[in-house]
Structure 1
């Protein structure tokens, strides 16, 4: 489980360090930075997938994602005594992402490459990785650092000394792509596999052509895909190897008297929904957007292979308000097996989630265009140190 998330110079997140719990609810007004926090977490997940620089490029490049305000904001500026003024940059551009968890912590620092000396290049704005660190404990210290990467060189802790294991790393790829060796750097491999297990669900499709509405060839599916294309197969997998009793209870909680059935015909799987008062079951093609989305959430949150972290971005979309209490109970139940992030601006869903003693509410607000956590003072932030370049 992650205990701390730290981000610096990513869009509106100029400098933010968040304490995390088992169930985290991210809320705030429109434009407060919820989407930026979600995108920063997805970018962190890309470090373990091998294409973090490509992910930055899809967001518009490092120039587009860097904090656009002044390097330093003084108390006089915050009080409105002096205007915000741009000055010449004094420090190197640095986009930093990191987290601390129960086992390991990790941080990465992106910057621009130095001006080429030998030949011109058209890729001078490609971000490169300046440094990375893996450590044990709640925050980075020299004594608990396990793996340290600076530029093209990386070293690992070897007793009380250090051992260099790479001197020619690509500065455009993370250590997870180049050093995941179970013998030379087991911490890198263990952390990479943990991050690869993070799961993101962002707005299931429910339009007329949505994959979840169609009959599909199916195989055992312990993890529902992000677009729901294997919906029926995932539901049947839960029936056979997951918690079938809890699955049925979740359907009854939201739709009393209803029943879900999966029919497999020649390898093609179809899901049908029966409800009190109907003479025949409805296929997924006939379901309302809200009913289909809710059933997809049931399948996603009852996965027989629970991830270390599951992030739900605005799960209330297209749901009737009367379904939100049942959705909250579904999410709280899932948080017993996985750490959950819920990004939402639905007051009823937030209130129901906050009734759980495990809920950690993070309310974001804007101050001089930078995202801050409401009520979180400097002394309330978790201890955090960034690795040095």
Structure 2
């Protein structure tokens, strides 16, 4: 196989999040890397760090797509992100370890980032490094990027000379070198990491723009295959996934909707004009079909999670903060099934306060991550010891133990 074929195979391989580590990011202070599974269910009290953890993971794609200044602005400024209780100027140290790269089968890719900030909101990238890890312990990690204080080196693909100096026009202590070196031919390892991180999808149920979903009319756009962070392109995504020749999303969607509404017949997308359409929901009962602006907010939210979790070609990582918000309790078992089925095809991280949803995820107890604050107010994360709960789970469901304040789970107010 020639080099071009190798590169194409490389670029189409999904990369999964193996571990993360954070120090100085809000209240996160991880002494050791935290390892992720295919399904991860975050539980804990308000303020225990669940949303901060998801936000830290999203920091990488945000910084790659919008730059560091916009990334801090999105998080209400640098001084609200970097832990200023540490000595000034404070450092924020972050790490993402990725696995599943077809051309690096002997190891993983670890991206390490250190940003320094002060109380005036000024910042600089002190260190940025991408290494291949997980190799023979006697070998040094192979570096693909090594950047410090505005100066850096990167390794071109299959370079026998190792790291080479970065071009002068790409050097900046306020930008990520990983985002600047975007040549798929010259730096395919860096480009693959960048593209995979940018493909991750993050959702917060509080941010779903129900009004826009119901009322906005948009032009037909076949490129919109994934739900936007606020859900406003729901109609377009459902239309495109149903029309796609890949997979059986339409049949799967009908099956799920029949479990929600016994009278469901089908969704249709009648044209308004040559460039616009609407969504029409037909039922096995007298009366006109319902338009999207006539259905309940809870139904809209459930349609959003179907578009995300039942996607026939999901992104490498899907994160949802409190998906149960606004969903009827009777539908939470269906939501739990969507979550577990999605985790068979991609990596899923959710956070939840719902004991009902946890009841339905009892057989996934080993996927639960307990979030709590230590004695100095720092967030800690520990995977639930399912074996320690084995006898309890014979008699009680997971949500019941959560509601009762079982010490292994925590997070329930007393």
- Find the partner of 2:348 among 340, 344, 353: 340
State the superposition RMSD in angstroms.
2.7
- Find the partner of 1:147 among 145, 148, 168: 145
Partner of 2:303: 295
CA positional deviation for 1:356:
4.2
Q: Per-residue CA shift, 1:117-156, capped at 9, x if unaligned?
A: xxxxxx9632111111112235998423322111222223
Partner of 1:229: 232
Give 1:174-213 correspondences, 5 Å limit: 174-203=176-205, 205=208, 207=210, 209-213=211-215
Contact 1:262 1:269 (8 Å CA) reproduced: no
- Does residue 27 of structure 2 align to residue 12 of structure 1? yes
Distance 1:261 1:161 in 2: 56
Distance 2:189 2:125 in 1: 19
SS at 2:277 equivalent: strand
CA positional deviation for 1:276:
5.0
Give 1:351-370 correspondences, 5 Å limit: 351-356=359-364, 360-367=367-374, 368-370=376-378
Distance 1:228 1:163 in 2: 43
Q: Per-residue CA shift, 1:301-322, capped at 9, x if unaligned?
A: 2334421111111111101111
Unaligned runs of 5+ in 2: 1-15, 102-108, 386-414
Contact 2:98 2:110 (8 Å CA) reproduced: yes
With over 3 angstroms needed to count, the CA separation of the structure-2 counterparts of 1:239 and 1:335, relative to structure 1, is: same
- Find the partner of 2:324 among 308, 316, 327: 316
Contact 1:212 1:230 (8 Å CA) reproduced: no
With over 3 angstroms needed to count, the CA separation of the structure-2 counterparts of 1:376 and 1:23, relative to structure 1, is: closer
- Find the partner of 1:94 among 91, 96, 99: 91
- Find the partner of 2:294 among 276, 286, 295: 286
Distance 2:384 2:324 in 1: 26
With over 3 angstroms needed to count, the CA separation of the structure-2 counterparts of 1:125 and 1:172, relative to structure 1, is: same
CA positional deviation for 1:227:
2.7
The answer to which structure, 1 or 2, has the higher relative contact order (CA under 8 A, 6+ apart) is 1
Distance 2:131 2:286 in 1: 58
Give 1:39-58 correspondences, 5 Å limit: 39-58=55-74
CA positional deviation for 1:47:
2.6
With over 3 angstroms needed to count, the CA separation of the structure-2 counterparts of 1:374 and 1:93, relative to structure 1, is: same
- Find the partner of 2:113 among 90, 108, 122: 108
Structure 2 length as normaliser, TM-score?
A: 0.76
Distance 1:254 1:288 in 2: 13
SS at 1:189 equivalent: helix
Contact 2:220 2:236 (8 Å CA) reproduced: yes
Contact 1:137 1:144 (8 Å CA) reproduced: yes
CA positional deviation for 1:13:
0.5
Distance 2:209 2:185 in 1: 46
Deviates more, 1:130-139 or 1:271-280: 271-280
Question: Comparing both structures, which one devotes a greater share of its residues to helix?
Answer: 2
With over 3 angstroms needed to count, the CA separation of the structure-2 counterparts of 1:341 and 1:14, relative to structure 1, is: same
Q: Per-residue CA shift, 1:33-52, capped at 9, x if unaligned?
A: 11211221221222321412
Distance 1:251 1:294 in 2: 10
SS at 1:355 equivalent: helix
- Does residue 132 of structure 2 align to residue 136 of structure 1? yes
Structure 1 length as normaliser, TM-score?
A: 0.80
CA positional deviation for 1:250:
1.6
Distance 2:328 2:317 in 1: 27
Contact 1:260 1:271 (8 Å CA) reproduced: no
Partner of 1:85: none
- Does residue 122 of structure 2 align to residue 126 of structure 1? yes
- Does residue 251 of structure 2 align to residue 245 of structure 1? yes
Distance 2:347 2:229 in 1: 18
With over 3 angstroms needed to count, the CA separation of the structure-2 counterparts of 1:127 and 1:285, relative to structure 1, is: same
With over 3 angstroms needed to count, the CA separation of the structure-2 counterparts of 1:49 and 1:144, relative to structure 1, is: same
